Amino acid sequence: MNLLPLLIIIPLLGAIIVLLMRSCAKPWHDAVTFITLIALSVIAVLVQTGVVSHGMMVFNPGSVVPGLGTIAVADGLTGLMLITINTVITCMVIFSIDYINRFEDSALYYFLILMTTAGLNGVLISGDLFTLYVFMEIAVISAYVLTAFTNEPESLEASFKYAVIGGVSSLLILCAIAFIYAETGSLSFHEIAIAWNRPEHFLTVLVMVLLIVGFGIKSTLIPFSSWVPDAYTAAPAPVAGIFSGAVSKVVGIYALMRLLYNIFGFDAHIMSVVGWLAVASIIIGVTLALYQWNFKRLLAYHSISQIGYMILGLSLGTPLGIAGGLMHLINHSVFKPLLFLNAGSIEHTSNATTLKDMGGLAQRMPVTGATSLIASLSISGIPPFNGFWSKLLIIFACVQSGKFGFAVIAVAGSILTLASFTKVQRYAFMGPLNRAAQSIGEATMLMRLSMIILTVLCVSMGVLLLPGVYEVFLEPAVRALTVGRHYGVAIEKLLQ
């Protein structure tokens, strides 16, 4: 049985069931959502196992329902991303079980999360531009509503801003799709990859600009990230974790790199522009973060900076750079959601959102304090935590490619990141206990469990570079991009 359709069918069914059970008690909503996401995580692992064992997987719905032209495709990159986002969203839901008690409509909350998950899974397995676009819109429209879920003025404003800028990015991407179709007569990835023969310079540049700006907005790349601080700050903490750990990675980085590598083929000039945008994101994002006192807003700017590291590695085009970029992508999908959960844990127990209103919280919230410390060291690139290994690969890849300036910027970004999170630890968790925090306690058991799971991953994910483990997870993903436009040829062979 082909597992790929289940990655979309299961979350859609789960979303419908949760909505139909809206009048039932909240534990039923929790149970349906959790079981759905556990099933998706298991299927994601099985897909990756199948890809490693048998190579690329393809599902052709036209063989079941004649007339359907779309296909579903999974390779090593797809499998790695599926495992990452479904695991992260599962952890966010575990945290949400107690966190969303403050909200009245848990069914709507879980419905939107499952719709977001269905959209992200759909983007990852899409085999044509139109299907990718449809699932991307399902994911981001759900994200717009989740941003406004608290129904407070600042969240409504942030959601509106996110929707307007996101709508502009979607329009740019749609225009690029129209030009591609006009040139190739197809929307299927494999047919475009085979038919795209570098048309006149103007059309190539126009399509590339539309795609880079369109997906750059969704991936939070500088200078297209003005919506990020407001959206990440206003959204509930687990939702912000999903945004940073899953949404920006799939509808931004994954989609852009799939197109630039596998559909149009690696172009050194285009990737050089992308690389400069990446280093600008690293420095500008972390510099702005240094001036923030709102915990979640500080984390939002760090998301911009860390996205820069991922895209920098991927823009180099070397196996080492791609490995570093992809490893940092999955590392960031662990430590950044963990930091948002730390912020949410503090907000849930004390209502404090700014660092100056905190202080000495490690005494009252030891699990939150310890997990925050490890996440802070991870994002700062301190050994032996996971962020160190991926940043090290990216820096080595820059040196290997002769881009010494980029390597220096990457190191400087890590130093400034450490300075920023030293401030977080100093004002939020260390020092004397804030008088207002005397009566608060630790987060609930489920909230602590989700933070502990992510912390264990921060400590252990360096094993991805070990022989035997690397060949199962990272190597197939790196190979999926380095094959370039042969991706289309491989799909064509499987469909014959």
User: Mean pLDDT, to the nearest integer, of 95-117?
Assistant: 90
| Reported confidence tier of residue 277, pLDDT bands at 50, 70, 90 | very high
**Residue the block writes with tokens 């495992």:** 83
Q: Is the pLDDT of residue 55 over 90?
A: no
Q: Give the three-state DSSP class for 57.
A: strand
Per-residue pLDDT of 134-192, as tens digits, reads 999 999 999 999 998 888 888 899 999 999 999 999 999 999 999 999 888 888 888 89
Nearest alpha-carbon partner for 291 in 384, 420, 400: 420
Q: Tell me how far apart the alpha carbons of residues 19 and 48 are, in angstroms, rounded to a whole number.
A: 31
8 is a domain residue: no
User: Mean pLDDT, to the nearest integer, of 289-303?
Assistant: 93
Q: Give 59's strand partners.
A: 72
254 is a domain residue: no
Please state, as a whole number, how many other Cβ atoms lie within 10 Å of the Cβ of residue 1: 4
23 is a domain residue: no
Total domain count for the chain? 1
Q: Is the pLDDT of residue 314 over 80?
A: yes
Out of 31-40, 116-125, 145-154, 326-335, pick the least confident. 145-154
410 is a domain residue: yes
Question: Whole-model pTM?
Answer: 0.94
129 is a domain residue: no
User: Mean pLDDT, to the nearest integer, of 355-381?
Assistant: 90
**ω into 467 cis (within 30 of 0):** no
Between 372 and 103, the more confident residue is 372
416 is a domain residue: yes
Instruction: Quote the pLDDT of residue 435.
Output: 63
Asked if residues 416 and 286 have their Cβ atoms less than 8 Å apart, the reply is: yes
- Could you give phi then psi for residue 56, rounded to 5 degrees? -60, 140
Structure tokens at 440: 């608060």
Instruction: Quote the pLDDT of residue 238.
Output: 93
Q: End-to-end alpha-carbon separation of the chain, Å? A: 19
Its domain, for residue 341, covers 267-465
Mean pLDDT of the chain: 90
Instruction: Quote the pLDDT of residue 437.
Output: 58
Structure tokens at 304: 């911009």
* CA distance readout (Å), 440 to 356, 384, 447: 16, 32, 15
Per-residue pLDDT of 226-259, as tens digits, reads 889 999 998 999 999 999 999 999 989 999 999 9
Local structure of residue 354 (DSSP, 8 states): B
Q: Is the pLDDT of residue 67 over 80?
A: no
Share of the chain above pLDDT 70, in %: 96
321 is a domain residue: yes
Asked if residues 474 and 331 have their Cβ atoms less than 8 Å apart, the reply is: no
Q: Is the pLDDT of residue 290 over 80?
A: yes
Out of 50-54, 357-361, 459-463, pick the least confident. 357-361
216 is a domain residue: no
